[in-house]
Amino acid sequence: MNKTVKLYGLIFIIVMVVLALLELGKSEVTDWRKNFDVNEKTPFGLFVFSKEVDHLLQNKVKRTDLSPYDFYKAQKLPPHNILIVQSEIDVESWNKILQNVQEGSDALIISDFFHREITDSLSFTTSKISYEETNLLKLTDEKFAQDSLQLDKLPSGMGFELIKAKDEILGKEESDAKMANFIKMRHGRGHLYLHSEPLIVTNFYLLKPESKNYVQDVFSYLSERETVWFSGANKNVAESRSPLRFILANPPLRYAWWLLLAGLVLFIIFNAKRKQRIVPIVEPLKNKSVEFVKSIGNLYLQEGDFHDMMAKKAQYFLNRVRMDLLIDTKNLDEKFIHLLHLKTGKSIEKINEATVLIKKGQDPYATVMKEDLIKMNRLLDEILL
């Protein structure tokens, strides 16, 4: 066993020990999400309500996971009760509900959200209630005057307004007398009961003894007959069919699974890096431009044509000034000398001297000596150095 394998094994053991210590020292965290799931025992699940609803409605509850549209499309029932808790009702399902209410059924819908199609069809709007620190829900019926429910955890704060005059207000929030949270609407031969606070049937509030009477009062408006509870309508995500669903549903197993995958990925990366083929060293091509220039220079020296050499050197220098320093070289005047001085930082005297020699090299009739070429070459190299 080489040192690398031992090192990886030691790191893995240390990580596992740290994760185990963190898991043992982790405190239980309460899940306050409003899931309204009949199988959840979290504060805002419906586990307790699912167990007590049969007793609450005289054991005349029929549960279904179908949408109202699919349920009533497959069968037709005599007048009955309809129960929906915090569900997004599509237009087709809503029309089926209204059709059954029209024929004599009663519907109790407990939700803090109603689609625009629903509010428009029943001529009401929803808005926020002005809750104070104490949120006390009460019913308007005198016989329920002693029963109330106090909301002290994450209320939705929704209420009904602009309802029709013939509609009946059954419940309000004590601090906002103008806004109703429980209303009754007549529709055909049946009635619609709308409650805007679904938290009243969650585990957190149903387990409070003082809240029990209020919930019983709300459900007492339904007639003693069969109630169809669309208990699966609020499930937005279907249950996972993955073989890993048990592992992913348990945090310790889920952490171990992700750690295993991360370890495999790291092993593959490091192993592939170690066995990577050595990249051969490719020698760059030699630059023989300098040798070429020296050869050309020797030819010019042998010919002794210093004037032509000065002209080419001046042309090359001015081209670099145009390209690198962005200075116009059409007129080698005072402006040119000043700009070249600013951009190169060289003295005015040296630039003036070089300019005279450049002009001399550009003049085809000027007499040029070897010393002029050497001097101009040195000055131009110093300016652009």
The pLDDT value recorded for residue 343 is 87
β-pairing verdict for 148-151 and 168-173: unpaired
Q: Which residues contact 69 (CB under 8 A, 6 or more apart)?
A: 90, 92, 93, 95, 96
Over residues 327-337, the mean pLDDT reads 87
Span 223-227, mean pLDDT? 92
Residue 227 near residue 80 (C-beta atoms within 8 A):
yes
Are the C-beta atoms of 336 and 329 separated by less than 8 Å? yes
pLDDT digits (tens, 9 = 90+) for 308-327: 888 888 888 888 888 888 88
Assign 189 a pLDDT band (cuts: 50, 70, 90): very high
Is 66 in contact with 54 (CB distance < 8 Å)? no
CA distances from 252 to 1, 86, 98, 248 (A): 31, 32, 47, 9
Average pLDDT value for residue range 342-364: 87
User: Which of 243 and 361 is assigned the larger pLDDT?
Assistant: 361
**pLDDT at residue number 300:** 64
Which of 44-48, 178-182, 232-236, 301-305 is predicted most confidently?
A: 44-48
Lowest mean pLDDT among 88-102, 180-194, 281-295, 300-314: 281-295
Alpha carbon distance 85, 382 (integer Å): 88
CA dihedral 219, 220, 223, 229 (to 10 degrees): 10
Average pLDDT for the chain: 81
Decide if pLDDT at 248 tops 50.
Answer: yes
Q: Kindly report the pTM of this predicted structure.
A: 0.56
Q: Averaged over 271-284, what is the pLDDT?
A: 70
Mean pLDDT over residues 198-203, rounded? 91
74-106 tens-digit pLDDT: 888 999 999 999 888 888 888 899 999 999 999
Helix residue spans in 25-115 (DSSP H): 47-56, 68-74, 91-102
Cα 211 to Cα 218: distance, rounded to the nearest angstrom = 11
In this prediction, residue 241 carries a pLDDT of: 46
Whether 297 has a pLDDT exceeding 80, the answer reads no
Q: Which of 299, 180, 226, 278 is nearest to 64 (CA)?
A: 226
Listed by start position, the domains of the chain span 47-229, 289-383
The winner for highest mean pLDDT among 119-133, 213-227, 365-379 is 213-227
Q: What is the mean pLDDT of residues 296-313?
A: 73
Q: Who has greater pLDDT, 296 or 374?
A: 374
Amino acid at position 347, single letter = S
- Rounded distance between C-alpha atoms, residue 16 and residue 9, angstroms: 11
Alpha-carbon distances of 188 from 79, 182, 191, rounded to whole Å = 12, 20, 8
Per the model's pLDDT, the better-predicted residue between 225 and 305 turns out to be 225
User: Which stretches of the chain are assigned E, i.e. beta strand?
Assistant: 61-63, 81-85, 106-110, 125-128, 135-139, 148-151, 158-161, 168-173, 176-187, 190-195, 227-229
246 vs 236 pLDDT, higher one: 246
Query: Which residue in the block uniquely carries the two structure tokens 């309802």?
Result: 163
**Which candidate, 118, 137, 339, 330, places its Cα nearest to that of 218?**
137
pLDDT of 237 reads: 38
Q: What is the pLDDT of residue 192?
A: 93
Contacts for 244 with CB less than 8 Å, ≥ 6 apart: 257
Whether residue 206 contacts residue 44, with contact meaning beta carbons closer than 8 Å, is answered with no
What pLDDT was estimated at residue 238?
A: 38
Using one digit for the tens of pLDDT, what is the confidence trace for 11-64? 777 877 777 776 666 666 777 888 888 888 888 899 999 999 988 888 889 999
pLDDT given at position 100: 94
Quick check: 375 and 357 in contact, CB under 8 A?
A: yes
Query: What is d(CA 45, CA 352) in angstroms, rounded to the nearest whole number?
Result: 91
CATH classification of 47-229, choosing from 1.10.357, 1.25.40, 1.10.3470, 3.40.50?
Answer: 3.40.50
Task: Specify the pLDDT at position 62.
Answer: 92
